Amino acid sequence: MSDAPSDVTAAAKRDTNAYWKANLKLVGGLMAVWFLVSFGAGILFVDALNTIQIGGFKLGFWFAQQGSIFIFIALIFIYVYAMHRLDLKYGLDDKGEPDSYDVMEGE
């Protein structure tokens, strides 16, 4: 008998743990950015940001009303891109299944 199945299982478990660790690191980093922009720029640093104006509106007001939403939408696209790369790195991509990257690349 061979120890191959247990070696494969151990390697797969290491890969799974590494994948989820990288996933949680990515999500944590993106949520920290979102928190800093929405809470920090919209509430904590509003007085300092209000010295700058964009289109006649104070920057602190702008971040509180629109900026954090724009940043959140940008973070969604960053997350999709980063997760696609992470899936490719760990061999978890869905080859043969259509996704948004296939549409964007004209496949």
What is the pLDDT, as a whole number, of residue 62?
80
pLDDT for the residue 66: 81
pLDDT tens per residue across all 107 residues of the chain? 455 555 557 666 778 889 999 999 999 999 999 988 888 877 888 888 889 888 888 888 887 778 788 889 999 999 999 998 998 888 877 766 666 555 555 55
| Cα–Cα dist 99/53, whole Å | 41
**Domain coordinates in residue numbering, the chain:** 33-107
With left for phi above 0 and alpha for psi between -120 and 50, is residue 93 left, alpha or beta?
beta
Tokens of 6: 């247990």
Looking at residue 80, its pLDDT comes to 92
Element (DSSP H or E) covering residue 54: strand 53-54
Put simply, whether the predicted model's pTM sits higher than 0.85 gets the answer no
